[in-house]
A and B are shown apart, each in its own frame.
Chain A
Amino acid sequence: MELRARPLLPGSARGDVLRLARPLSFWGGVDPRTGVVTDPGSDGHGVSLADRVVLLAATRGSSSSSAILLELIVAGRAPAALVLAEIDAILAVGILVARELGRSTPPLLLLPAADQARLETGIPVAVNADGSIVTV
């Protein structure tokens, strides 16, 4: 299967899908040292975001979520790729700052929630610089 996402901050990555249907705030919802989702209201509660292709149907907007994503990248616990359903500059800024620090950063893509739903948690995918997401 191949899905066409819009690359917001392009890049290539591989990882197992983690699809989160409920809104997640990284600040207060993800442990910046481990990448584990700590928000008990999230469908990813207890799961680590590290090295996964994380699909977010909705983000909940604490403005400090950019700081938490930066810390995940610096700690080597970031998602392999982040796929949003709506444009969100808050998470993007975490990636842009990590780039300035010379870190390798996850690609950021845009894919509507209905298309995200075609990818089940656990399946391995490749994300390409043109925005395509391919099952492998």
Chain B
Amino acid sequence: MPEPVATLRLGDDERAMLAGGRGAAAQRAMRIVVDAARLLGADRLVEIASAHIDGCLYHGDGGVLFAELLVADGGRVAVPTTLNVGALDLVHHGRVRLTGHEAAMAARMTRAYEALGCRPSWTCAPYQAGHRPALGQHVAWGESNAIVFCNSVLGARTARYGDFLDICCALIGRAPNVGLHRDEARRATVTIDAGGLPRALVEDEAFYPVLGAWLGRETGGAVAAIVGLPPRIEEDRLKALGAAAASTGAVGLFHVVGCTPEAPDLATAGGGAEPRARVALTTAMLRGARATLSTHPLDEGAAIDAVAIGSPHLSHDEIQRLLGLLAGRRSRVTFYACTGRHVLDALSGSEVAALAAAGIDLVVDTCVVVTPIFADGRGVVMTNSGKFAHYMKPNTGRDVVFGTLADCVESAVAGRLVRDERTWS
């Protein structure tokens, strides 16, 4: 039986918090963090620069009672802290179909986390809402896509925490020194070579979520170094890659050699030596991964019932691309575009008007797979998000079909499936 690898050593300040010297909420949070740290075999706690909270989504009354207990104890976050999506669209009342007790409790959850001093960002893309820790900084972030973006694209360091450990870390400004906080856990152990793929495939925007879905399924929790990709990749593409990888597998960090900050070259990504394991990607492998993102073998021209995009939340750039692709046309089907209030605030009046005229329903502060937004559990939803594709069926009961943003727009306008298959056939 494996024994803990280290004895947890606490500093004077940390012992004082554990003894209640910084208030009841910090004491409670410290107790939980210390117990979790001991269980994980941490040698110490690290000071964190910021936190992002995933535990603020309403799953039931227990989570609300805990948040309210921290508020009653006088809890205040010790570091800048953003909030992930909640269960309510606080901008568009009536968009979310929670009622009665559940709606009231979700609203209490919202108020409690704001009372703890968290920024009411309510987004799963905090890194596009001004929350960007620096290379090498330790942070405590929840939400799988935010974790993988933070580690991979920003080069800041966060482990994968369970809900509630995130807010506890925020209240004490510390996190257990385990997992991706440590140098040795950040080294790539497998090389994924995209160099042999057709150029048109790698340039296709669907390549990134499809590669992510493949990576999560095939490499699990290993850290991969991807070679053979261009040195400059749009941030929204890396966002899509990470979100899909963290949905199909326990991926908390990937490196793109020559692109992401800890991977100037393959040897550096591997911590001084090139990873021994190597996989050369083929078109067939990616075609297979793409097929797993649809639960419904739809034929070209078959009817679709809705389109849902924005997991992770759409950036302003992505909304502008959506408007460009719509080119003044209107969706024939329900079209949900999920984004954060940071993007809503940045939209111009003419952009808002153009979205409304095109029949696009903005969903803000939440999204369609974490809270009831669809009218019922029937029908086929089209998406360009690997994460929506993964969670749509289990969380909403609806079938899903995957395509590019352009495919989604053409299908919405036509009211039936239109996919450009040229790069995939």
Contact = CB atoms under 8 A, between A and B. Distances in A.
Q: State whether these chains interact.
A: yes
Interface residues of A, number: 36
Contacts of A70: 60, 62-63, 66, 164
Contacts of A13: none
Contact of B28 (A67, A71, A100, A112): A100
Given A63-B144, A89-B162, A100-B66, A68 B36 contact: no
Contacts of B395: 28
Interface stretch (B13-21, B51-59, B258-266, B402-410): B51-59
B164 A93 contact: yes
19 contacts: A8-B39, A60-B250, A62-B144, A64-B57, A64-B162, A67-B63, A67-B163, A71-B61, A74-B62, A89-B162, A89-B165, A92-B36, A94-B162, A96-B31, A97-B62, A97-B66, A98-B62, A100-B31, A100-B69
A87 interface: yes
Contacts, number: 109
A117 interface: no
B158 to A, nearest CB: 11
A90 interface: yes
Interface of B: 1-2, 28, 31-32, 35-36, 39-41, 54-55, 57, 59-63, 65-66, 69, 142-144, 160-165, 250, 391, 394-395
A63 B62 contact: no
A87 B162 CA distance: 13
Interface of A: 6, 8-9, 27-28, 32-33, 39, 60-68, 70-71, 73-75, 87, 89-94, 96-98, 100-101, 110, 112
Contacts of B63: 67, 70-71
A64 B369 CA distance: 14
A71 B59 contact: yes
Contact of B39 (A28, A89, A112): A89
Nearest to A111: B1
A23 B143 CA distance: 20
A72 to B, nearest CB: 9
